[in-house]
Each structure stands twice: as C-alpha cells, then as structure tokens.
Amino acid sequence: MATRVGQVLLPVVDQGGLMVVADLAGRGLVAGAVIVEPVDAGLGDAIAVAQALSATGRLVMAVDEEGGTVQRLHELLGNLPSARRMVDSPPDEVRTMVRRHAEAMAGLGFTVALAPVLDVGGGPGIGSRSFSDDPAVVATYGEAFAQGVRDAGLTPVAKHFPGHGRASVDSHEDLPVTPPIDDLRSVDLLPWESLPEEMAVMVGHLSVPGLTDGVAASLSAAAVTGLLRGDMGFTGPVMSDDLSMGAITDDMDVPEAAVTSLFAGVDLLIVGPVSNVVPVAWALVGALDDGRLSADRLNDAVRGVLALRGVDPCGLVR
C-alpha cells in the first residue's frame, strides 16, 4: 500500500532537497520531484543520485521551464524567450529552439517539462506566459513547443486546464473564476482539442461556472473525469497544479486537497514542500481505509504515473 500511494506524490524541492527525495524514493514513497531554484552546477549529479536510489524505477524529474518569467534553469542553460515573444518566430523555429533547450535539460537528468502553457490570454498570473489571445495561435505554438520537448526525449505537460488566461486572479494567491463553461468551450478549450500524443496535462486551480460548482477544477470530477477524460477523450497522465497554492489552501489543507484531487481523477499530485509528503500519504491511506477512495482509483492513477515514467507496473510488488 505505501509503495502504491507513494507513486502519486510529487514534492517541490530545490537542489538541496533532492537529498530528501532520494531517501524517500529509496523507500518507494515518492514518484519524483518538481525542482525549483536555487540550482547550481551540481544539479545533474544530485538528480542522478536520486534516480540511482529509487526503489521503483525511473523517477519524474520535472521543472517549470516555459521561457520568459518562468524558467528555473536559466543560470545553467541560458534564457528562452517568453511564449508571447516566441510567436514572433515561425513555429518550426520555435520547435527547434525548444528542442535544443530541452536536450540540455535532458542532459541534466530532467524527464518532464512543465510546459507549454495553453492558456488563451494573459490574465493575472499568466501575462507573457501565454502565446496569444487567439486560441488558434495558442494551439499552433503550443504544439510546436510540445513537439520540441518531445524531440529531446522529454514529456511535455500542457497547462493550465481548462484555461487560466481569462481567469479573475492569480491562482497562487486565491481561487480564480473563469468565464462560464460555455464561453470556455468556444475560446479557452480550443487549444486542448488536439493534444499531441505522449503528453501530460496539468489541471489548474480554477473555478469554472457551470462546471465545477465553486471548487477548483483540480478537485472536480466534473472537470477531470467528465470534461477532460470524457468529453475531450484525453487518455494520458493528468497531474494537479501545486496543491500548496493559495487557491487551495485558503479553504482546505493539502492532505484533504490531495484526497479530493485523486478522487476527482487526477493521477499525480504536486504536494508542495517535501514536508507534506508524509501527511498526504497518511491522508490517502486513511481515505482508502474508510472508503472515500477506492483501490481501483489509486491503481488507475499509479498506472498513469508509471506510464509517464516509462516504468513496468509489474515491478511494483508492495
């Protein structure tokens, strides 16, 4: 049970925190990590140690490397232009530029790029992270970015489903409200209709009138299982945005949010600081024991995460 629960947990750490991740991974208690600054030239070695100690095979090593204002590796790899500036170049040039950058990421040991941003519009918290206010432009350049990541052997993660670009506030601070779902269908959801294969999706902390009943999409079965999986037919891995963000923690603690998100259909839970791993794990075990979560839902999530990692599920025996 502990090993299966661990495979849906992804803490956020800096380079020094990878030592803790390596210890947890050695006991099968995490699926990997999201790495943030500060980092230095020893980052590749620190990632390699965590991978070597993992008891459950290849770990997710993920990083927000969008370009512009959101890139954690700029001191090591140099800068990428923002999404809003990328559209000044043809899509094939963007694909090549991103491939070269992602190859350098792969050289450090990263397996997942938390990009591209498919949000339509540059509302609070997004700004130049969005390619455009035009969904067709977002779709074209989002695909070029994703293909560049894939060309380098990494998995791209499209975000923030179902669309943060026209939401009311920054989800780092509070729970944003988007336009109603019917409005999203005609604008914000268009770039999500033809996602490239071998891609994952990050669900945002977004209240969608007419869909999520006042809660975040990342906690909503209507958004994840109904809209993304059902209506849009997405079959790949689904991860939450960071559950320690203000949009979530203003109303509930991270362990409670993790239970709710997994129940909603999310596979991989970004749980914030590594200190959250144990409390979240115990909350998930408790929810399995009292019936709020089914073993089948956990197993489906684990299969999705292992597919993202390229790990044979037959290797998980506990």
Q: Where are the domains of the chain?
A: 2-313
Residue 315: the pLDDT is 64
Parallel, antiparallel, or unpaired: how do β-strands 70-71 and 65-67 relate?
Answer: antiparallel
Residue 1: the pLDDT is 82
| CB 150 within 8 Å of CB 156 | yes
| CB 276 within 8 Å of CB 6 | no
- How many other C-beta atoms are found inside a 10 Å radius of the C-beta of residue 296? 8
Taking the C-alpha atoms of residue 165 and residue 206, their distance in angstroms, rounded to an integer, is 11
Residue 87: the pLDDT is 98
At 241-282, the pLDDT tens digits run 999 999 999 999 999 999 999 999 999 999 999 999 999 999
| CB 175 within 8 Å of CB 205 | yes
Q: Please name every residue paired with 67 in a beta bridge, in sequence order, or none if there are none.
A: 70
Determine which helix (DSSP H) or strand (DSSP E) holds 140, and give its type and residue range.
Answer: helix 135-151
Parallel, antiparallel, or unpaired: how do β-strands 112-113 and 269-273 relate?
Answer: unpaired
Determine which helix (DSSP H) or strand (DSSP E) holds 272, and give its type and residue range.
Answer: strand 269-273
Tokens of 275: 């200190």
Residue 318: the pLDDT is 45
Residue 267: the pLDDT is 98
What angle, 0 to 180 degrees and rounded to 10, lies between the N-to-C axes of helices 43-53 and 18-26? 10
Taking the C-alpha atoms of residue 212 and residue 203, their distance in angstroms, rounded to an integer, is 12
Taking the C-alpha atoms of residue 256 and residue 260, their distance in angstroms, rounded to an integer, is 6
In degrees to the nearest 10, what's the CA dihedral of 158, 85, 128, 98? 30
- How many other C-beta atoms are found inside a 10 Å radius of the C-beta of residue 126? 24
Q: Is the Cα dihedral 131, 134, 139, 141 positive or negative? A: negative
Residue 316: the pLDDT is 60
Backbone dihedral region for residue 273 (phi beyond 0: left; psi -120 to 50: alpha; all else: beta): beta
Residues with active-site annotation: 172, 241
Architecture category of domain 2-313 in CATH: Alpha-Beta Barrel (3.20)
Q: Please name every residue paired with 269 in a beta bridge, in sequence order, or none if there are none.
A: 9
Per-residue pLDDT of the chain (318 residues; tens, 9 = 90+): 889 999 999 999 999 999 999 999 999 999 999 999 999 999 999 999 999 999 999 999 999 999 999 999 999 999 999 999 999 999 999 999 999 999 999 999 999 999 999 999 999 999 999 999 999 999 999 999 999 999 999 999 999 999 999 999 999 999 999 999 999 999 999 999 988 778 999 999 999 999 999 999 999 999 999 999 999 999 999 999 999 999 999 999 999 999 999 999 999 999 999 999 999 999 999 999 999 999 999 999 999 999 999 998 876 644
